[in-house]
Amino acid sequence: MDFELTAEEQAFAREVEEFLDEHATPEVADVCRENMAQIVDTPARRAFMKKLAERGWLGMTWPREYGGREMSGIYEYILNEALARRGAPQIGKGVGIIGKTLIRHGSEKLKREFLPKIIRGEIEFAVGYSEPQAGSDAANMQLRAEKVEGGFRLNGQKTWTTSAHFADWYWVGARTDPDKPKHDGISLFLIPMNDPGLEVRPLPTIGDEITNEVFFNDVFVPDDYLVGERGRGFRYISEALDLERFTMFTYSPIQQRLEELVEYVRRARRGGRALREDARVRSRIAWLETKAEVARVLGLRFVAASLKGGKPPTCEASEYKLFATTLSQQVANAMVDLAGPGGQLKVRTPEAPMRGRPEMSYRYSVIDTIGGGASEIQKNIIARRKLGLPRNF
């Protein structure tokens, strides 16, 4: 497999960089926000997404009948990685997860209503899978959706819902058929976030970001806003999670932090001696650089597998997400270790090593290993679906 970009792809990458040089202003792009920079939570960031849409870069891999350009997935990869490297809003949930799932499984009504808004950068989504008793085990969700005349009535709770405090619509899994096996009794819905039956409570995280609890009190969802077939929601969610594990956990921020660490090691001195002369430090940097190249290639392998069409490649998504987020933690740990006592200073403290990023990255990289399915879940997926191990191994 050739992991180098073609001349056309390199030209597109340069075009994206030129666009970002002009439009990725400090109020829009901030590398110190870590991977959560993808959220479109301010008017300036919404305006930025509309500029991407005007260039035809949102949904460019979608079919033409839905406003896309049917371009190769490598172009979406190039765009998303460039955005992530600058700490700018990424294509995120609308284009990369919800839009693609609606194209495959949504009704014509849902496609007509949501796909044009997504591709124009006019709408933001929150994703509701996790619950207090069902974190990474999405099949164990208990939010109840009772069938009533004309639709469903939802009661219960979601937790760890990023974006619920500013999103327009909620992409929610709920249990419609409690008597069926847990994987078969779940359905997927779209709900406006301004529904009076929804209560959103913020949950500050260790990474200085906000996630949310969401409570459902007799929330009515019309039949038209059921995504796909009743009872097949877990299958759709599994596909969407494969997309999330790749789309939302980009490689570029890890590479960017590693480059900042390497530059610090080149210049720093400890005990009157250049840090770069320490054999243990050199060995650790070499180990991280090697793993970073593996993470890059795993990401490209996911893109290559996706180009074959059909469902997103599950095992490749889990392998990439597990390896990349573990590496993210390892880079953060090395930043703290090699920065010494100064590594505990807050981000942007003037005298802090590496702009104070070690302390922030150390806290935030924990979140990356949980979102989109915890590392233990990824290991289970790889063990069962790739290695063929039994469930009770």
The pLDDT tens digits for 141-185 are 899 999 999 999 999 999 989 899 999 999 999 999 999 988 889
Count of residues for the chain? Answer: 393
Are residue 183 and residue 308 in the same domain, yes or no?
no
Q: Is residue 137 part of a domain?
A: yes
Q: Which residue has the higher pLDDT, 325 or 140?
A: 325
Give the CATH number, domain containing residue 217: 2.40.110.10
In angstroms, rounded to a whole number, what is the distance separating the alpha carbons of residues 329 and 262?
16
Q: Is residue 340 part of a domain?
A: yes
For 317, the domain range is 249-386
Are residue 209 and residue 258 in the same domain, yes or no?
no
For the chain, the domain total comes to 3
Q: Is residue 181 part of a domain?
A: yes
In angstroms, rounded to a whole number, what is the distance separating the alpha carbons of residues 21 and 308?
33
- Within 13 Å, how many C-alpha atoms sit on residue 162's CB side? 20
Q: Is residue 393 part of a domain?
A: no
Q: Which of 21-30, 75-84, 86-95 has the lowest mean pLDDT?
A: 86-95
Are residue 222 and residue 306 in the same domain, yes or no?
no
Number of CB atoms found within 10 A of residue 146's CB:
14
What pTM does this model have? 0.85
pLDDT tier for residue 37 given thresholds of 50, 70 and 90: very low
For the stretch 239-277, pLDDT in tens is: 777 666 556 678 898 999 999 999 999 999 988 899 999
Q: Tell me the average pLDDT of the chain.
A: 89
Are residue 204 and residue 259 in the same domain, yes or no?
no
The pLDDT value given to residue 28: 92
Helix (H, G, I), strand (E, B) or coil at 142: coil
- Amino acid making up residue 378: Q
Are residue 253 and residue 372 in the same domain, yes or no?
yes
Q: Is residue 96 part of a domain?
A: no
In angstroms, rounded to a whole number, what is the distance separating the alpha carbons of residues 86 and 79?
11
**Range 72-95 average pLDDT:** 88
H and E: helices and strands count for the chain: 12, 10
Q: Is residue 255 part of a domain?
A: yes
Are residue 220 and residue 269 in the same domain, yes or no?
no
Given a cut of 90, whether residue 294 has pLDDT beyond it is yes
What is the rounded radius of gyration, in angstroms, for the C-alpha atoms of the chain? 21
Q: What is the DSSP string of 29-84?
A: --GGGGGGGG---SHHHHHHHHHHHHTT-TTTTS-GGGT-----HHHHHHHHHHHH
Q: Which helix or strand (DSSP H or E) is residue 213 part of?
A: strand 210-222
Give the CATH number, domain containing residue 334: 1.20.140.10
Are residue 180 and residue 255 in the same domain, yes or no?
no
Are residue 69 and residue 152 in the same domain, yes or no?
no
